[in-house]
Amino acid sequence: MPAVPAWTAPLLCCVLTAQSPAGPSVSPGFAARAVLTETAQPAAVRAVAWTGDALLVASGSDLTLLRPGHAPEPRLQLAAGADFAFVATRSGGRALVGELTAGAIVELDIATGQRVTTFAGPRNAFDAAPLPSGDVLLNANPAWPQPGAHAGVWLAGPGRQPRELLALVGPSGPLLLLPNGDLVVAELGPVVPPPPGAARLLRFAATDLQQAIASSGTLTANQAIANVNGWSGLFDLALDDRGRIHASDPAQSRVLHTAPGGLAPVGSSIDLGNGQYGLWLAFDDRGTAPFAAFQPGERAPALLTCHSDFATRFAVTRVVPTRPTLRADVAAVLPAGATATFALADGPPLGLAALVAGATAPTPEHVARTVGGIPLCLAMPTGAAVELPPFLLDAHGAGRVTFTNPGGFALPLTVQAACLGTTGTEPTFATSNPLALHLLP
């Protein structure tokens, strides 16, 4: 059965440009930016999936593709009286769309809405994880609401009779396939809603999962290679590029995350604000920078979080890293003997910073070194970089330092700030945006 009851919320389609004062909050080094929110048209939002540049939203009997700034694009309509169970994207521009009570699963071409194939799945599926083979794992409770009904992980696929791989206790929850093929699945327990800390995550080795699939066998909770309680509720799971699992909870406003490779909650990814509750999660992978504090947001993954008050509002918020900002109080040319003041803002609170300067025009940023698994990017050749004396940052992550042109040379100068600090219990390393100056002799 679903982890939360059906609820009514308006259909997404409006682009927002600002957060309200009572909106989501994040740790220093990150920003929370509204992406989509509702219009006045009410509909039951049943499932959401991220396609890479748009959202697939299953609302009422319609599956709609939503791109910020564009009109909604219809993709699929269910028969009258049918309900959506889940939507999951897979490689090749395809999506799997489940129907709740009949269990049918449609494989859909996202770009055109054309049905590629339809195959049987279990009734009352809640979440899905597509497999590279073309099959799919589902967390479902087919017998609900009959006495003794239980959730479980099911295997389905084209030409395959759906079967249960793993029996679970309690209502259906999310599942997640890790890059190495391991399976992480939530078990919410027999008490609904789960008492604080009673829900757990279990991790199964890829080899055990593959053997159970190939041999028509099953898995048991005792085979889990990791088993961690401490969660109060689990609605959706998403994995970042540092190996941390982020988890939403339909009964609280915070999206929590684990340590890299762990299963226990250790920190908050976003607090959605009073009266807002976390639902579907996804990562928008943008490339070279990690999902870590104070990184260049244009090159880092972003966490998309769906949330609602279950009454009048449904929204999607993007959590994205933001790098420190360096500014100078002079124009691009600095005469001999003149002094420039460099102001750093939005760095690590109470951290340490130092200017890094190179006698060169700015170059495309490259990874100069990696510290604690976080790449430090410079817009100058590494061999040309000179680090100036460090300076302290205040509680807001701001600091100032002066530089005097000694004269004698006419040369270009690129300046960045390198920062060191902490966010929570994690060390933080970052570089600011580069500035270009020209020194006069």
Q: What string of H, E and C letters represents the secondary structure of 211-276? A: HHHHCCCCECHHHCCEEEEEECCCCCEEECCCCCEEECCCCCCEEEEECCCCCCEEEEEEECCCCC
Mean pLDDT of the chain: 90
Give the model's pLDDT for residue 189: 92
Residue after which a domain boundary falls, among 275, 290, 321? 321
Note whether residue 129 is domain-resident. Answer: yes
What is the per-residue pLDDT for 37? Answer: 77
Does pLDDT of 7 surpass 60?
Answer: no
* Residue 311 belongs to a domain: yes
- Is the domain of 237 the same as that of 345? no
Which residue type does 14 have?
A: C
Among 275, 304, 321, residue at a domain's last position? 321
Q: Are residues 305 and 341 in the same domain?
A: no
Same domain, 297 and 336: no
Same domain, 316 and 351: no
Whether pLDDT at 385 is above 80: yes
Residue 4 has pLDDT above 70, yes or no: no
Element at 315 (helix H, strand E): strand 314-321
Percent of the chain with pLDDT over 90: 77
pLDDT of residue 19: 39
pLDDT at 392 over 80: yes
Please check whether residues 156 and 296 belong to one and the same domain: yes
Residue 331 lies in a domain: yes
Q: Is 4 within the bounds of a domain?
A: no
Beta strands 352-358; 374-378: pairing state: unpaired
Task: Assess if residue 3 is contained within a domain.
Answer: no
33, 104, 113: which is closest to 68 by C-alpha?
Answer: 33
For residue 16, the model assigns a pLDDT of: 30
Burial-class residue 44 by CB neighbours within 10 Å (0-12, 13-18, 19+): middle
Is 154 inside any structural domain? yes
Choosing from 321, 347, 379, the residue where a domain stops is: 321
165-214 pLDDT, tens digit each: 999 999 999 999 999 999 999 999 988 888 899 999 999 999 999 999 99
Give residue 12's pLDDT band: very low, low, confident or very high (50, 70, 90).
Answer: very low
Q: Are residues 151 and 265 in the same domain?
A: yes
Do 342 and 294 have their domain in common?
no
Residue 410, domain extent: 325-439
- Please determine, for residue 249, whether its predicted confidence score (pLDDT) is greater than 60: yes
Q: Greater confidence, 371 or 78?
A: 78
Q: Which of 11-15, 203-207, 302-306 has the lowest mean pLDDT?
A: 11-15
Q: What is the pLDDT of residue 414?
A: 96
The 10s digit of each residue's pLDDT in 208-241 is 999 999 999 999 999 999 999 999 999 999 999 9
Point out the least confidently predicted range of 285-294, 347-356, 393-402: 285-294
C-alpha to C-alpha distance for 264 and 197, rounded to whole angstroms: 10
Q: Are residues 13 and 132 in the same domain?
A: yes
Residue 43: is its pLDDT beyond 70? no
Total domains in the chain come to 2
pLDDT tens column, 69-86: 889 999 999 998 899 999
| pLDDT value of residue 21 | 41
Query: Are 304 and 420 in the same domain?
Result: no
- 317 and 332 share one domain: no
Task: Please compute the mean of the pLDDT values over residues 44-54 and round it to a whole number.
Answer: 89
Answer whether residue 5 shows pLDDT above 70: no
Give yes or no: residues 128 and 211 share one domain.
yes
Asked if residue 339 and residue 310 are part of one domain, the reply reads no
Q: Residue 108 in 3-state DSSP?
A: strand
- Using the structure block, give the residue that is written with the tokens 């799945």: 121
Q: Is residue 10 predicted with pLDDT exceeding 80?
A: no
- For 256-295, what is each residue's pLDDT tens digit? 999 999 999 999 999 999 999 999 999 998 778 999 999 9
Q: How confident is the model at residue 8 (pLDDT cuts 50, 70, 90)?
A: very low
Q: What is the CATH number of the domain that holds 301?
A: 2.130.10.10
In a domain, 2, yes or no: no
Distance of CA 109 to the CA centre of its chain: 24
CATH number reported for the structural domain that contains residue 398 in this entry: 2.60.40.10
Please indicate, yes or no, whether the overall pTM of this predicted structure exceeds 0.95.
no
Asked which of 12-21, 29-38, 198-207, 269-278 is least confident by mean pLDDT, the reply is: 12-21
